[in-house]
Amino acid sequence: MEKRWILNTAPNQREVDELSERLSIEKPLASLLISRGIKTVEDAELFFNPDISKLHDPFLMKDMDKAVDRLSRAIMENEKILVYGDYDVDGTSAVALVYSFLQEIIGSDYRKYIEYYIPDRYLEGYGISDQGVEYCYANDFKLLISLDCGIKANDKVALANSYGIDVIICDHHLQGEEKPAAVAVLDPKCDDCPYPYKELSGCGVGFKLIQGYCKKFNLPDQLWLSRLDLVAISIASDIVAITGENRILAYFGLIIINRFPRVGIKSIIEQSGIKIHYPPTENTIFNRVISITDLVFNVGPRINAAGRINTGRESVKLLICDDEDKSMEIGSNINSHNDTRRELDKKATSEAINEILSNDEYRDRKSIVLYNPNWNKGIIGIVASRIVEEFYRPTIILTKSSDGLVTGSARSIKEFNIYNGIDHCAHLLEHFGGHNYAAGLSLKEENLQTFIEEFEKFVSENIQDENAFIPEIDVDMVLDLTDITSKFMEHLKKFAPFGPGNMSPVFLSRNLVEEGNGRIVGEKHIKMRVCYREKSCRPIDAIAFNQKENFGIISSGNYFDMLYHVEENTWNNVTSIQLNVKDIKQSGSGSIITNNSSKH
């Protein structure tokens, strides 16, 4: 698929030269820092060396004092506490964090007083459910702590209140018109919350609760520091910004995962096939160790798979497990769920693509809405994302739920707010929710065809520029291959952890040639060595995943331009620099759009 390259405007060269000299780093990396808003030595030092003491005071969050006091009273008076969380990675890691903290605080009798609850994706759906509240009441729980959900559960909180159950909400989603009548609502995105950092994950909000509890009662910092690994996993998997406080949390969480992993996380890493040695040798942090990318693509999906295929309780059970043999058993089961998830995902995606390609109507449509009652509800969000990647259209994938409704997941493209499109069709829907780029919905089957037509009409009226259907790649800067040295790589690694708000930089090099040994590997990837023809340049290894269609460009002998990340690749215990190619174009074949504002 053709892609537009959007090149960020280079910063002032005088500022680049000055920062490069003062930090003793290469000019391209000084330019990268300035483009990301880091313009002083002091800011750079904090960026390169995150400081745990710079975390915000948890009591800056509205209702934190109420939440800590209510939790303290429950513990002191031996009340039963139910730790309730969503079934995805953010929710289950948050439950594991708060539950394990309470285990340690309460001591050996904890089973009498605390329990965790993950709703069934298929029978209960997202968030606090009626069944969950009824379970709480039937089992004499007096306090419910909701994690990664609850900010819009006004009726469920009211039901809990009617039963004499207090609720502490720890969420990070946008509030509705009115907040629920909970004893405490911890959510930095609430309109009246003054907390200075708004991008915490759901697990991050739960973390601030235990940090606040420890601060109030002067408990050892280790009680919250030791759980930063769970916060890092939630940050990576929930795709929240890795800036500000989240950068600090992710940085130190990764150190724990790499140096002192809890047995459950270690078992997931081993099940995923990542080769890593514990304990690590000296200077291995951010070398070939577990990274945010590993959490996103290897650890997170496996934790998620339990809730998609079976129950999210398995994920919590694994994350709080302290027995290596038992954790390997649970991890193996979860890995099997992930294999099942991949098979279902692959089959449904193939069926969806075939339906689109065989239906002439989709040639002229600006949206894609597909319904198949046999698709598994747990994977339709993944399928929707795959279809957006393949066709770059606002996409809704629908199946039939256990209550007889048609239910679905929506994913969008950069230029279209899919929540607004769904909201426009609200009169046809039973339920819906979400944000700009992802949403969920349900409707009666008899309304489906009308919904498809009205949604397509709204998309067509709101996307007039055909360029909106061409995906973009943001390019940080033009880079000469000769600038890529081992010293450059060592300094670049200090920019990690990468993620939203601090993405791994995309570099552009022009007028390259392939050394002559380029080949297709694994049926659809290109392995090559690139260099310049006219000037001295050591060829650099490069891998272009899923870009078989570009092989003709690099093998023609003509010049080509290339977008790439600079990474390290370890093979047979030898680590070398490798370019991870994002896209390739024949030199001079297309324009590059210059963007005057940073998108990182």
**Residue pLDDT, tens place only, 472-526:** 999 999 999 999 999 999 999 999 999 999 999 999 999 999 998 899 999 899 9
Listed residue (455, 351, 408, 393) closest to 125, CA to CA:
408
Distance CA(557)–CA(516), nearest Å, equals 9
Domain boundary among 402, 436, 462: 462
Which 3 state secondary structure label does DSSP give 414? coil
Beta-carbon contacts of 172 under 8 Å, excluding residues fewer than 6 positions away, are: 148, 187, 188, 189, 199, 200, 201, 202, 204, 205, 240
Q: What is the pLDDT of residue 286?
A: 41
Which 3 state secondary structure label does DSSP give 48? helix
Contact status, residue 137 vs residue 108, Cβ threshold 8 Å = no
Q: Is pLDDT above 90 for 573?
A: no
Q: What is the pLDDT of residue 324?
A: 92
Q: What is the pLDDT of residue 281?
A: 53
* Residue 277: band (very low, low, confident or very high) from pLDDT cuts 50, 70, 90: low
Q: What is the pLDDT of residue 284?
A: 45
Tokens representing 311? 């129950």
Distance CA(425)–CA(8), nearest Å, equals 37
Residue 564 lies in domain: 4-10+473-595
Could you tell me if residue 46 is inside a domain?
Answer: no
Average pLDDT over residues 423-442: 89
Residues 481 and 440 in one domain: no
**Alpha helices by DSSP H, 24-124:** 27-35, 41-48, 64-76, 89-106
Could you tell me if residue 83 is inside a domain?
Answer: yes
Distance CA(519)–CA(554), nearest Å, equals 10
**Residue pLDDT, tens place only, 76-114:** 999 999 999 999 999 999 999 999 999 999 999 999 999
Give the number of other CB atoms < 10 A from CB of residue 231: 28
Q: What is the pLDDT of residue 280?
A: 55
Residues 120 and 228 in one domain: yes
Residues 411 and 494 in one domain: no
Residues 385 and 479 in one domain: no
Average pLDDT over residues 29-44: 96
Of all helices (H) and strands (E), which one includes residue 379? Answer: none
Residues 584 and 488 in one domain: yes
Dihedral (CA of 14, 17, 18, 19) sign = positive
**Residue pLDDT, tens place only, 171-202:** 999 888 899 999 999 999 999 999 999 999 99
Q: How many domains does the structure of the chain reveal?
A: 3
Could you tell me if residue 20 is inside a domain?
Answer: no
Q: Is pLDDT above 60 for 559?
A: yes
Q: DSSP class of residue 299?
A: I
The domain that holds 424 is classified in CATH as: 3.10.310.30
Residues 402 and 327 in one domain: no
Could you tell me if residue 208 is inside a domain?
Answer: yes
Distance CA(295)–CA(299), nearest Å, equals 5
Listed residue (303, 394, 370, 313) closest to 341, CA to CA:
303
Q: At 474, which amino acid appears?
A: D
The domain that holds 479 is classified in CATH as: 2.40.50.460
Q: Is pLDDT above 90 for 228?
A: yes
Mean pLDDT estimate for the chain:
93
Residues 271 and 393 in one domain: no
Helix (H), strand (E) counts: the chain: 21, 20
Does 266 or 574 have the greater pLDDT score? 266
**Residue pLDDT, tens place only, 306-334:** 988 888 999 999 999 999 999 999 999 99
Beta-carbon contacts of 180 under 8 Å, excluding residues fewer than 6 positions away, are: 150, 151, 152, 153, 154, 156, 157, 158, 167, 169
Does 525 or 284 have the greater pLDDT score? 525
Distance CA(331)–CA(11), nearest Å, equals 48
Residues 414 and 535 in one domain: no
Could you tell me if residue 77 is inside a domain?
Answer: yes
**Residue pLDDT, tens place only, 15-29:** 999 999 999 999 999
Dihedral (CA of 131, 299, 419, 597) sign = positive
Residues 430 and 512 in one domain: no
Residues 328 and 397 in one domain: no
Domain boundary among 431, 462, 493: 462
* Residue 535: band (very low, low, confident or very high) from pLDDT cuts 50, 70, 90: confident
Contact status, residue 392 vs residue 470, Cβ threshold 8 Å = yes
Q: DSSP class of residue 122?
A: T
Tokens representing 457? 């009409």
Could you tell me if residue 341 is inside a domain?
Answer: no
Q: What is the pLDDT of residue 598?
A: 44
The domain that holds 111 is classified in CATH as: 3.90.1640.30
Listed residue (96, 108, 422, 35) closest to 228, CA to CA:
96
Residues 430 and 376 in one domain: yes
Measure the N-to-C terminal CA separation of the chain; round to a whole number of Å: 23
Beta-carbon contacts of 269 under 8 Å, excluding residues fewer than 6 positions away, are: 261, 276, 290, 294, 298, 299
* Residue 550: band (very low, low, confident or very high) from pLDDT cuts 50, 70, 90: very high
Distance CA(396)–CA(441), nearest Å, equals 9
Could you tell me if residue 44 is inside a domain?
Answer: no
Residues 208 and 262 in one domain: yes
Contact status, residue 390 vs residue 357, Cβ threshold 8 Å = no
Distance CA(405)–CA(70), nearest Å, equals 39
Q: What is the pLDDT of residue 288?
A: 52
Average pLDDT over residues 39-51: 95
Could you tell me if residue 65 is inside a domain?
Answer: yes
Distances from the Cα of 570 to the Cαs of 7, 567, 576, in angstroms?
30, 10, 6
Distances from the Cα of 55 to the Cαs of 67, 250, 450, in angstroms?
19, 12, 50
Dihedral (CA of 573, 575, 576, 580) sign = positive
Cα torsion through 224, 228, 231, 237, rounded to 10: -170
Q: What is the pLDDT of residue 287?
A: 45
Domain boundary among 422, 442, 462: 462
Task: State percent of the chain over pLDDT 70.
Answer: 97
